[in-house]
Chains A and B, each alone.
Chain A
Amino acid sequence: MKKLKEVLYVIERDVRMFLNHKILLFMRALWFIAQISLFGLIASRMVIIPNYFEYYAAGITVTILYSTAVFIGYDIYEEAEHGIVEYLLSLPISRRKLAVGRSIGGGLRSFIYVAPLMGIVLALIGVRNPLNFMLAFFSLFLFAFGVAGMSITIAMGIKSADKFDILMGALDALIVRLSTVMYPKVFMAQANLMYSELANINPLTFASELFRWGAGIEQYLTFGPLLSVLVIVLFFSLFTLIGIIFYERRLEGGGWQ
């Protein structure tokens, strides 16, 4: 029980830290609203795809879940830069619990933030099968943890601030565009076969497909829900594990410096 409590403290701290970024969160929400109410509405009249608005709104929800789960990497990087890691290590919490707490906290806080926005999107597009949606919702939960683990891994693996920022910027630009978040895979293949091949191994593709399946937007699904769930579970397990191990090891003997 005591062990769990210590992990909970770490999670609570990460959630509180996240909520302190009020302006950043407000701007993200504003971006989300502009994407849906302006770009989504207008683009849906421009493209030949029927019900594109629903398709796009679901994709943007997954994008914002990804981009907020990535924040934990920036937080950890800043802590290393500003000497806060030393303070964290002085606390009566083991390194492992610290690592586990960070990984869970990173995913949980993004989910807490995105849940109301997801609610708005679902109110607009509707849910046809609540049971499917519950499964998709749970998988997205795991997806957020996986992204947090991936972000922690990158943050702890790169020691140069410039390299970290550049890599995260490039990754953010490519991972969203090379997925089915904004467009169905069939059109990606028509534009360039390589794009659709890369989308096949992109976790955002599986997360957005699952969300659409859960909401009943099944027109352009390319993978079955079972495969998508399996990929998300694999992504979550792999990166959460790597993130925890990497974070714990880096904390050992000043490896973050």
Chain B
Amino acid sequence: MTAIPYIIERDFKRFFRYKWWIAGMISMNLADLFIMALVYTKMVKFSYFEFFAPGITVTALFAAAFMIGREVNWEVRRDYYHYLLSLPVKHWELALGRVLSGALRGMVYMLPLLLIDFTFLGLPHPLQVLIIFLMLFLLSLGVSGLSITIAVSTDSFERFAVMRGLTYYLLFFCSTVFYPLDLIKDISAQGIIPPFLAVLAEINPLSCGADLIRSFLLEKPSFNIRLIISIIAFSLPIAVISSLAYTKILRRRK
């Protein structure tokens, strides 16, 4: 039997030690949904609450899955991996376990928000539920991988924090989490924001995740296979790259 379940269990226990972070995030997500989105609904010409609910679900998944990078970078900076190497665990198991546990953290944290989506926007067909879960898991895997890749790329906390922050804000704000893609494209066409931001918003995995849920629950935007392809194209390579990068860090000699 592999050691992966133990690694996942360890990372889960550590995740729930960040009570302040979880409490802050839950408050923020619920306040965004039940206060901000409800007020914005009165300020726009469509139901912003319905539009935003899938967006906040994907945001929550992203934030929770992205968290693993912080721990991995700490381990890299403190040479904590020496201890990890002393465990009877193969390198590939450790690498895969870390990426998987990051992904599962994202899924567990996101689940209550997805249930809120189903409660308020309606329950989709069981096959669609299955596709949503599968795609969100893949997305979470990609985000966890991206976070680990950034974490192992530098020994400097400052550099890591800046890279992490830039990635976070770029993916967060240049996505369809907060606003529809048509609007972003219109604004870009008017020259108000640079065109590459509209392209980024379209291929952004967070946009694809949010739009996939919307397409099944709201039928707007309509379902497009591109959403699934984009998530797979982002997640699988980045999961492999992050596992390899993590293994490389484990094997390095200082």
Contacts and interface: CB of A to CB of B under 8 A. Distances in A.
A165 B43 contact: no
Contact of A165 (B23, B30, B192): B23
B43 A170 contact: no
Contacts of B25: 169
A161 B19 CA distance: 10
Contacts of B31: 173-174, 177
A253 B177 CA distance: 51
Interface in B191-211: 192-193, 197
A177 B44 contact: no
A164 to B, nearest CB: 8
B43 A187 contact: yes
B116 interface: no
Contact of B28 (A173, A187, A195): A173
B161 A45 contact: no
B229 interface: no
Contact of B35 (A22, A26, A47, A177): A177
Contacts of B192: 41, 45
B interface majority secondary structure: helix
B173 A188 contact: no
B20 A165 contact: yes
Given A174-B31, A188-B39, A27 B19 contact: no
Contacts, number: 112
B104 to A, nearest CB: 23
A172 B161 contact: no
Contacts of B174: 38
Give the residue among A49, A165, A173, A174 with the most B Cβ atoms within 10 A.
A173
Give the residue among A47, A48, A191 with the most B Cβ atoms within 10 A.
A191
Interface of A: 22-23, 26-27, 30-31, 34-35, 38-39, 41-43, 45-49, 161-162, 165-166, 168-170, 172-174, 177-178, 182-183, 187-188, 190-192, 195
Given A30-B166, A183-B39, 7 more contacts: A22-B158, A41-B187, A42-B178, A162-B19, A169-B21, A169-B24, A177-B35
18 contacts: A23-B157, A23-B162, A27-B161, A27-B165, A30-B165, A39-B173, A42-B178, A42-B183, A43-B179, A45-B186, A161-B20, A162-B20, A165-B24, A166-B20, A166-B23, A169-B24, A173-B24, A183-B43
